[in-house]
Amino acid sequence: MIALSEIETDALAELANIGVSKASVALSRMVGDEVAMSVPTVEVVPCAEAARRFDAEYADRLVAVTERFSGPMAGVALLVVPEASSLELVRAALPDEVPPDEAGELAPEALAEVGNIVLNNGLSSMANMLGAGLDTALPRVLYGDGLEVFAQCGADEGAGATAIVFSVRIRMKARNVPAQIVVAVDTASEEALRARLAAYVERVLG
């Protein structure tokens, strides 16, 4: 697993905050109402531990929107929410005229759109600040517990594979949804991430 200094971890949190701020603006335009996302906290843990933590923290099943990214660094990004809370996110994302009984049918498409906005803004902000252009695949919506979601999303299954977990809350139309944004970095890309993050810190601190 990649080992980051406190300064490097703080830099990741700063990059994530820029990304969620941009995502809030984009989501606000989509739903036609103000959207707020809390300042993210960040933890760097093995992927397997991240999956176990999700299962310990959330009693119900999870919904994850996932996107594979590639370039100088590769891996999978996930927006993870409890399944029960995901319905609140769907209702907030859909137009007000959509009947509540149709929200479930439209859930995968709405979640994919929300996840795409959040993940693309987060990844693009990180990539731009680190000087690494990334390509992203189309989003997928997965259901299951933490271990099932990580197994399905294509994250590196190596014992030391790294997951960078950003915890946020998304407030849309008076609904407050807990969420986790996870960047699961391929083992082969860990040194590239560490090097670019160290260079960013040096550049910022002068």
3-state SS of 22-36?
A: HHHHHHHHHHCCCEE
What percentage of the chain has pLDDT greater than the value 90?
40
Q: What is the pLDDT of residues 25-66, one digit of tens each?
A: 988 888 888 889 999 999 999 988 998 888 888 878 999 999
Would you state the CATH architecture of domain 6-205? 3-Layer(aba) Sandwich (3.40)
**Residue 135 in tokens:** 């390509």
Going by pLDDT thresholds of 50, 70 and 90, the confidence category of residue 206 is low
CB atoms < 10 A from the CB of 170, how many? 25
Q: How much is the mean pLDDT over the chain?
A: 88
Averaged pLDDT for residues 110-123: 91
Going by pLDDT thresholds of 50, 70 and 90, the confidence category of residue 204 is confident
Residue 81: burial class (beta carbons within 10 Å; 0-12, 13-18, 19+): buried
Q: What is the pLDDT of residues 145-179, one digit of tens each?
A: 998 999 999 888 776 789 999 999 998 877 788 89
What's residue 38's pLDDT? 92
Domain boundaries, the chain: 6-205
pLDDT at 97 > cutoff 70: yes
pTM higher than 0.75, yes or no?
yes
pLDDT at 67 > cutoff 80: yes
CA distance 17 to 79: 15
Cβ(25)–Cβ(112) under 8 Å?
no
Cβ(194)–Cβ(4) under 8 Å?
yes
